[in-house]
Chain A
């Protein structure tokens, strides 16, 4: 009996060890992908099931909320962490990713697998993949095209009594604003207005202090006023460009928008807060990324409530770039599996499915398809925007450049401290210090 029990015990232990090993070996065929926690991430989870079905490789995800996204991911990269095999990193990280060796250079892999960057929209390749900018050195595959845009309450705009009142007051139709001046007129028109027994406000715009929010908002105006960060002929010379009179005017305009158009308490708002203000029917306009439009649109099946439009022009037409590229982390032990995922992701049919699930493909086959413009109400706006996008510095020191911008712009726009010119001068002063420390000046 004792012998029998002993045998049984050995069999049990053996099975447990076998089960443990077999589960470990199954787990070794998996990769981890890091991205921000937002709507498109859910679409990517859905899409990646296809990869697992095709290859048997599991894809694990770690999605970090936007306010902590840069902190978490850059910390991981700086510590040469192995948590992530693939990273969908923000466009501004490409410089640091390349220079500090966080990302794998993909040129050889692309050549070997026949992946051509010519198949992807030029603006997105430039923005998400190349470092130094515009050179054929690729550190990411354009994964998620995005730009800052606007949604508006079409159902309120369609009301005849509001239309005639607006027409009488401003002398033109209440509709999609063609300039920031028109946007301001419309925002102030709705500010404090009672509609269906509830007080409404003009616009939910980016004012967040902690990460990148207010910078991503104010640059939408600055680009439209024709802002350039530096002298095109003399890199890093910012005096007279970044603080030129028309840029000062743009910043002052954004402050005017904040003061006259936003709902009370909208002083530290970014993506989530703008969506909330819009969904709770508090505001007529919201500024946000295209990434959120599939979600907004889904709740408005007949397209009666919401309309979308690209960033309005002013002196010129431009939009703030969002979006990200897919990179392989150089510290990963599973780079081969990660590259396999990238190869799969670059396929035109996968890219088409990516768009249909709510991701913004940058593949020319998808963007150039005859039915693309009709496939979503915001598709035309997306195409228009991606042709005019501009991005913040993508230097390896971009966080050091972002922080003074956040501080001084927030100090002027929300806190009301100083002047727009002084804010821009202060930013330049700190940027010069950063570029000097980096040996660029």
Chain B
């Protein structure tokens, strides 16, 4: 029997064998990714409420989409999300690249330091959010203590102030995820062949010129890749912010994903929130595609 099977398999083309191998994965993907996506898209055209059992589901056309896009609060949350993404990506790119450049030098304790720096990203975001609420506590938190060490600001209420709360989530995300950017940049830096620098030395290029013309172009594709991952992650950021600020004060740190969760699983407006989710998906998918194209162009250069 098994011999027969082996003989049969031998007769199959490479393409057929490849299909046999990937079919289970494709089926699984269809079942857990593609089907729910199309189901959500179909629900987004209805007035479906998951908690109203027995209520007639009506086709409402584009009404949900018009409602989502016409809502001021949705645009506010998009703005909050964009703000969060811009500052986290910018700061993480700068610090991550800086740390990678420092750690790329050979010195004693290099490995240990690298391990210590990457520790935060190994923690669960919910845990990070929770313990930073204690670190930010204006009375006993270490954050307030450190800030007051340099200048007497008094108690600093990072989570309760509408001005500081958006920065509080940027700081925590930066603390947690800069090591990720750093690691990828470090991989990029270590892939630059030494002979490029040796040739530059021969040509009497200054350190700055070496950085601009060799290091930066070589590491840029890696940095952009890290930022792509971070961008996608932060666009759907939820757990850390919920634990840290619950989206408050008011709605100062309510990111689009938090608002979506509240619409979908607290208000149970399934049709409306499906439309919202589709809009978010198209947004990140569109941005992602454009970004990848730009990244590939840079890489080709």
Contact = CB atoms under 8 A, between A and B. Distances in A.
Contacts of B160: 265-268, 414
B267 A414 contact: no
A74, A75, A414, A416, most chain B CB atoms within 10 A: A414
A210 B242 CA distance: 8
Contacts of A417: 162, 250
A255 to B, nearest CB: 12
Contacts, number: 90
A266 B248 CA distance: 12
Contacts of A210: 242, 246-248
Interface stretch (A1-9, A150-158, A220-228, A403-411): A403-411
Contact of B248 (A75, A78, A268, A399): A268
Contacts of B138: 264-265
B157 interface: yes
B199 interface: no
Interface string A406-425: 01101110111100000000
A96 interface: yes
Contacts of B169: none
A75 B266 CA distance: 9
B137 interface: yes
Interface residues of A, number: 31
B159 A265 contact: yes
A416 B246 contact: no
Interface string B142-180: 000000000000010101111000000000000000000
B239 to A, nearest CB: 13
A209 B254 CA distance: 11
Given A78-B50, A78-B53, A399-B268, 17 more contacts: A78-B51, A78-B268, A100-B51, A100-B53, A210-B242, A210-B248, A264-B155, A265-B141, A265-B155, A400-B268, A403-B267, A407-B250, A407-B251, A408-B250, A411-B250, A412-B250, A416-B162
Interface in B225-246: 242, 245-246
Interface of A: 70-71, 74-75, 78, 80, 96, 100-101, 208-210, 263-268, 282, 399-400, 403, 407-408, 410-412, 414-417
B249 interface: yes
Contacts of B4: none
A209 B248 contact: yes
A102 to B, nearest CB: 9
B190 interface: no
A267 B162 contact: no
B23 interface: no
A263 B247 contact: no
Nearest to B261: A71
B51 A74 contact: yes
27 contacts: A71-B265, A71-B266, A74-B51, A75-B265, A100-B51, A209-B246, A209-B247, A209-B248, A209-B249, A209-B250, A210-B242, A210-B246, A210-B247, A264-B157, A265-B137, A265-B141, A267-B248, A268-B159, A268-B249, A399-B267, A400-B267, A400-B268, A403-B267, A407-B254, A410-B249, A410-B250, A410-B251
A416 B163 CA distance: 11
Contacts of A267: 157, 159-161, 248-249
A412 B250 CA distance: 7
A70 to B, nearest CB: 8
A410 B247 CA distance: 10
Nearest to B254: A407
B141 to A, nearest CB: 8
A403 B139 contact: no
Contacts of B266: 70-71, 399-400, 403
B265 A265 contact: no
B248 A410 contact: yes
Q: For chain B, which range describes its interface: under 10, 10 to 19, 20 to 34, or 35 or more residues?
A: 20 to 34
Contacts of A403: 262, 266-267
B268 A414 contact: no
B252 interface: yes
Contact of B162 (A400, A408, A415): A415
Interface string B195-223: 00000000000000000000000000000
B248 A265 contact: no
B247 to A, nearest CB: 6
Nearest to B158: A265
B52 interface: yes
B268 A415 contact: no
Q: Which 7 A-B pairs have the closest CB atoms?
A: A267-B160, A411-B250, A415-B250, A210-B246, A209-B248, A264-B155, A264-B138
Contact of B249 (A71, A263, A408, A414): A414
B250 A268 contact: no
Contacts of B249: 209, 267-268, 410-411, 414-415
Contacts of B242: 210
Point out which of A263, A266, A267 has the most chain B C-beta atoms below 10 A from its C-beta.
A267
Contacts of A78: 50-51, 53, 268
B251 A265 contact: no
A410 B51 CA distance: 27
Contacts of A74: 51
Nearest to B269: A400
A265 B245 contact: no
Q: Which residue, of A71, A210, A408, has the highest number of chain B Cβ atoms within 10 A?
A: A210
Contacts of B162: 415-417
Nearest to B133: A268
Nearest to B139: A264
B251 A411 contact: yes
Nearest to A277: B139
A71 B262 CA distance: 10
Contacts of B137: 265
Given A265-B138, A403-B267, A100 B52 contact: yes
Interface string B115-147: 000000000000000000100111101000000
Contacts of B51: 74, 78, 96, 100
Contacts of A70: 266
Interface in B265-281: 265-269
A207 to B, nearest CB: 8
Most A-side CB within 10 Å, residue of B139, B248, B251, B266: B248
Nearest to A258: B160
Nearest to A75: B265
A70 B262 CA distance: 12
